[in-house]
Amino acid sequence: MKPLLAAIAMVAAAAGGLAGLSAGALAEPVHAIAMHGEPALPADFTHFPYVNPDAPKGGKVTYGVVGTFDSVRPFIVRSMRTTVRGVVDPEYGNLVYETLMQRSQDEPFTLYGLLAETVEWDEDRSFIQYNINPKARWSDGVPVTADDIIFTMELLRDKGRPPFSTRLNQVAKMEKVGDLSVRFTFNETSNREFPLILSMSPVLPKHATDADTYDQSTLEPGIGSGPYRISEIKTGERITFTRREDYWARDLPIKRGIDNYDEIVVEYFLSETAQFEAFKKGVVDVYPDGSATNWARGYDFPAVANGEVLRQEYDRRTPSGMYGFVFNTRRPLFEDVRVRKALTLLFDFEWANRSLYDLSYTRTQSFWDGSELSSHGVPADAREREILAPFPDAVSDDIMEGTWALPVTDGSGRDRKVSRAALTMLEEAGYRIEGGRLIDEAGKPFAFSLMTQNEGQEKLAVAFQRSLAALGIQMAIRTVDDAQYQQRSQTFDYDMIMKSFPSSMSPGIEQIGRWGSATRDRDGSFNFAGVASPAVDAAIDAMLNARTADDFRSSVRAFDRVLLSGHYVIPAFHLGKSWVAHRARIAAPEGPPPLYGYYLPAWWDTTAKP
């Protein structure tokens, strides 16, 4: 090479190297990050808009949950079969262990700095750097450092449970930039959502955590950085949290008007019935009610009449989610989509809604019903068709065109028109009715069992059983206790199960755990239906890598169409409202609740003494 050309090449190479470094070196620290678009609140915001920044501090509240616990370590495998609430819990607040960033309840997916005062990342989201707040302290007064973040990530990789154990799978390099900064550089398996998921990771104290024994259950309260410490434990029954007066973040904008109680108690119950009875007796202060029947008929006790208990009703602003009967497609009986579609027709929502629920529910037509992410009633746009083009048989024509809808029956429980349509599909799949029973070509009866968890599920199951019996289908109902339900759910030991799949305005990587091919045979995953579909995987991938709000909406709708066309779940219903009852002394901020509904950590005790 000639000297001049060599010199030019050297300069170009150096410039290229500098260009490669510029994204990281020149990244500006920011106070918040959003999945799509920009955070709604500026760097100098004073408090979240859905809190009362002047809420009084003091008093107490008692929550109730169904379940039990034998450990206060929520991140280990052994905690998957127990219910550890409050220790790290977005519903009651991350009381003991905190995350790097905190999610806004009023935006689809935006995070504001908590342990990380600021973050740095590039447009391609190839890395993210967390800069720890210099004020951050553990409850024993020791500063939170970069070493704590690195220690936690490695500890949970080796001894944690999913999803904490898998977060470093998408990290090419984790490096300490300074005493208070850690940078994660991502590998080719990462996506645009992952930096936000990583930002919601908890942090544990390196100096106060025994790595050798961390995977063992314990009732020894740990040292955290959160606003509360555990002050009392009654195994399997109760955990009491006491507010820390020396909490390091109490004056941060994201914490104003939050963490208001001096004491938070979480009581554990064996059933929802026992939990509600405890609420009626005054043992529990707040009762989120998900039962239309109970909300309509269960509040005739004295505390409601005399005003000691108040009932609040809120309009939902988020997608419906999906609740219904889930086929285990690992079972040969449910491998054929025609069979699944036929049984979907046979669930008589109109009869159940009128006879069992006082017409309180709305039929669910989409996994994101009630939002712009839903594909129901909307023809596929160009981007959706592009995503689905490699899979021409994955979506039925009516769902692609937006004309599909679940049948509306005459409400009799035996709509002949619907039954005929279902029988035609079953006959196409090789079944026939003989001697009052539906049998296959070998003469084997069409029979399966449905596993239920409680009386509410059992009641709906009986209604479905009645409709199936009209076509000679034998469905046994097996109601099991909570422990057995969890164990069998995690090992996919069922034919059909009733499950709820919550949805949000920012679906992401959790959808792989529910529907991705990689999780079909992974015990403990949430892929209850046993889905393994290239079209599903492609739609999830498009969703995770969407760069604009429009592209994201299209990818979610494409995903929705594939799930609906697969008929993996018989949609039941959803509520257009959320309900919560509480003691009159417990107050909530005025005005409409945030996007994701009422936010319990912002409530307070009006009897608190300043």
Are 368 and 295 in the same domain?
A: no
Q: Does residue 27 form part of some domain? A: no
Can you tell me whether residue 323 is helix, strand or coil?
strand
Q: 416 and 307: one domain?
A: no
Give yes or no: residues 340 and 465 share one domain: yes
In a domain, 290, yes or no: yes
Q: Is 610 helix (H, G, I), strand (E, B) or coil?
A: coil
Percent of the chain past pLDDT 90, that is, above it, reads 81
The mean pLDDT of 56-76, rounded to a whole number, is: 91
> Residue 20 domain-assigned?
no
pLDDT at residue 13, as a whole number: 37
Fill in the DSSP letter of residue 30.
B
What's the confidence (pLDDT) of residue 79? 62
Average pLDDT over residues 308-326: 94
Is residue 153 located within the same domain as residue 269? no
Which one-letter amino acid corresponds to residue 49? P
In the structure, what pLDDT confidence band is assigned to residue 401 with cuts at 50, 70 and 90? very high
Give the mean model confidence (pLDDT) for residues 64-74.
88
Please tell me which residue, 74 or 248, carries the higher pLDDT value.
248
Of 191, 215, 239, which residue sits at a domain end?
Answer: 215
Clarify whether residues 519 and 565 are in a common domain. yes
Q: Select from 215, 240, 258 the last residue of a domain.
A: 215
Pair 410, 274 in one domain: no
Give a yes or no: residue 544 inside a domain.
yes
The H or E element containing residue 186 is strand 181-186
Domain contains 220: no
Residues 430 and 517 in one domain: yes
> Where is the domain boundary, 150, 181, 215?
215
DSSP code of residue 137:
B
Task: Report the pLDDT averaged over residues 207-232.
Answer: 94
The token pair at 271 is 């059933």
424-434: per-residue pLDDT in tens?
999 999 999 99
CATH of the domain at 569: 3.10.105.10
Least confident of 31-40, 120-129, 435-444, 481-490: 481-490
Q: Judge if 485 and 554 occupy the same domain.
A: yes
If asked whether residues 174 and 236 sit together in one domain, one would say: no
User: Hey, which residues does 311 pair with through a beta bridge?
Assistant: 581
Instruction: Check residue 26 and give its pLDDT.
Output: 53
Cα–Cα distance measured from residue 245 to residue 579, given in angstroms and rounded to the nearest whole number: 33
Radius of gyration of the chain (CA): 26
Question: Which domain, by its residues, includes 598?
Answer: 47-96+226-316+575-610
Instruction: Indicate the pLDDT class of residue 19, thresholds 50, 70 and 90.
Output: very low
Q: What is the mean pLDDT of residues 485-506?
A: 94
Residue 25 lies in a domain: no
pLDDT over 80 (residue 10): no
331 shares a domain with 299: no
Here the CATH number for the domain that contains residue 208 is 3.40.190.10
Task: Assess if residue 71 is contained within a domain.
Answer: yes
Residue 6 has pLDDT above 50, yes or no: no
**277 lies in the same domain as 414:** no
The answer to whether position 39 is within a domain reads: no
- Eight-class DSSP state of 308: S
- Bridge partners of residue 62, in order along the sequence: 265
Count: domains in the chain: 3
What is the Cα–Cα distance from 566 to 584, expressed in whole angstroms? 47
pLDDT at 200 over 70: yes
Calculate the alpha carbon distances from 499 to 325, 326, 460, 517, 527 in Å.
Answer: 7, 7, 13, 19, 11
Sheet of 577-583: strand order equals 286-289, 577-583, 309-315
- Whether residues 568 and 584 share a domain: the answer is no
- When pLDDT is cut at 50, 70 and 90, the band that residue 358 belongs to is confident
Single pTM value for the model: 0.80
